[in-house]
Structure 1
Amino acid sequence: MKLQIVPARRGIHWVKAGVKTFFRQPLALSGLFFMFLALVSVISIVPVVGNVLSLALLPAATLGLMAATREADNGKFPMPVLLISAFRAGRQQMRAMSVLGALYAAGFVLILAFSALIDGGKCARLYLMGAPITSEMLQEGDFQLAILVVSALYLPLSLLFWHAPALVHWHGLPPVKSLFFSLVACLRNIRAFMVFGLAWTGMFLIFGIIMAMLGAMMGSAEAVAAMLYPAVMLVLAMFFTSIYFTFRDSFEFPTGEDA
């Protein structure tokens, strides 16, 4: 396995490739994404345990969406069973993916625990226990600081796990080693990832402007609100589709190594 260094402009290519591939199989890819969201919603009904389990399943779900993207990129129809690809590849890889999920959940819970030192646990209760969010809470300085800290600490956690599920599943790397290579690959290609992130931020901003214009033209906030959620989910599905291309371009593998 060899790390590939790509130019900053490659970040734009990843976004374009994700959107283009999504529209090759929009129903299948959006359907898989909504299936994942539905599963997380059902699991999250159980306070604390359900939310932690949802976190643990995120690496496996990301891998499933990447596998579906690869099928669509190869001109094939992504079947729903691809969403559980992580649990169909053999006992060793399934165990490694379970360890990866446990590490991810533990890392995020530790971040929430640290934020509790700032706001007394308001942010942690909001996520883990589904505590209601109020306008007064949003205006509290300690809560705002806790949200900023969680966002800042989540970035390195995200880089650690960005490529790890694919490295574990397709190339048989141990969980800890996959985290190391994922972090190194992201840091070495940080300029491309910054362009990638900025491009997607711009996409969401443009989408928000379009929705605001629609609301002004229709004169109905209720109608816009009804369209907003599914539209945002479709854009998020495109974002997850683009993740596969960041992995494909960041590593070079010997012919035949891909599983």
Structure 2
Amino acid sequence: MPVEMKLQHVPASRGAMWVRQGFRAFALRPLAFMALLFTYTFASLLLFQLPWIGLVALACPPLLALVFMIGTQLALNGRIPTPALFAAPFRVSRAQSFALAKLGVLFLLLSVGVVLLGHWADGGSLVRAMGLMSRQDNPAAQKELAELFVSPQLQFGVLLRFGLIAFLMLLFAHASALVHWGAHGTAKSLFFSTVAVWRNKAAFVVYAATGFLVQMGFSMLTSVLFAIAPQIASLVMLVTSVVLATVFCTSLFFTFVDSFEASITPPAES
């Protein structure tokens, strides 16, 4: 049965709470949530090995966001989210499955635009850095990599990509949730998702700013570690990247249930 939903307004301070709730939800089932992300990443890598078909992986983030929302709801109810949740959105109805597929295609087109924009912004620095990371035994390459990591151009390019993709993930996460729980079509779900974000723009600005500050805090830590112990810094950067990406995904559920009045809303946090 579709859940009746109604747009609602939340105060700006709610944005910081969404980040905090994301960390708390992650702490409930950290391994299970990271397993969801690793499953998606592994499947994406396999798809990328296939010419043209690999582009399907770029259409899957709306599905990933919805799976994390369903998983977060399960974790809050004391259950363990598993990779089997990736099939859950397609067990509802054919119309909803088709709507999710159309959301994926649209996300694919927009994400390609973001990648091209980011490449233009950093002058190809990120691609260069990724190539240097595979040359661990070359001191000159590692020195160039360290210089690239502190380059303002690379940092701006990474932040631009992250910000735009995070914004798309937010819009499409709400849209996919509206398709799944509200049984709305593609256009209607995207429309109400956009309206909800605009209506609560102050909260989402605080949400983005809080997430940015958290990320910058970890970035400063890894920058210091790179100067002291580059090998350890690489490991710390990898682990923190996975944790922060997972926390962002778990926080999406709270942005949705606060933007739409629905019976799936978790218990209020004091």
| Shift in Å, 1:86 | 2.0
**CA distance 1:213–1:110, change in 2 (3 Å):** closer
**CA distance 1:152–1:97, change in 2 (3 Å):** same
Task: Tell me what 1:2 maps to.
Answer: 6
3-state SS in 1 of match to 2:92: coil
TM alignment of 1:92-111, pairs within 5 A: 92-109=95-112
3-state SS in 2 of match to 1:23: helix
Cα distance in 2, alignment partners of residues 16 and 187 from structure 1: 22
Task: Tell me what 1:176 maps to.
Answer: 187
| Shift in Å, 1:227 | 3.0
Task: Tell me what 2:27 maps to.
Answer: 23
Deviations 1:15-59 (A, max 9, x none): 111111110111111111121111122222335541x21121111
Instruction: Provide the TM-score with structure 2 as the length reference.
Output: 0.76
Instruction: Provide the TM-score with structure 1 as the length reference.
Output: 0.79
Residues 1:231 and 2:240 are matched in the alignment: yes
Unaligned runs of 5+ in 1: none
**CA distance 1:150–1:18, change in 2 (3 Å):** closer
| Shift in Å, 1:161 | 1.7
| Shift in Å, 1:204 | 1.0
Runs of 4+ in structure 1 over 4 Å off: 110-113, 131-135, 143-159, 213-216
Residues 1:250 and 2:259 are matched in the alignment: yes
Matched to 2:85, the amino acid is L
**CA distance 1:60–1:155, change in 2 (3 Å):** closer
Which of 69, 72, 97 in structure 2 is aligned with 1:69?
72
Does the Cα contact within 8 Å between 1:215 and 1:221 map onto a contact in 2? yes
Which of 173, 198, 201 in structure 1 is aligned with 2:209?
198
Task: Tell me what 1:60 maps to.
Answer: 63
Cα distance in 1, alignment partners of residues 23 and 166 from structure 2: 23
Overall identity of the aligned pairs, in %: 35
**CA distance 1:47–1:147, change in 2 (3 Å):** farther
Q: What value does the CA root-mean-square deviation take over the aligned residues?
A: 3.8
Unaligned runs of 5+ in 2: 133-140, 149-153, 265-270
Does the Cα contact within 8 Å between 2:171 and 2:190 map onto a contact in 1? yes
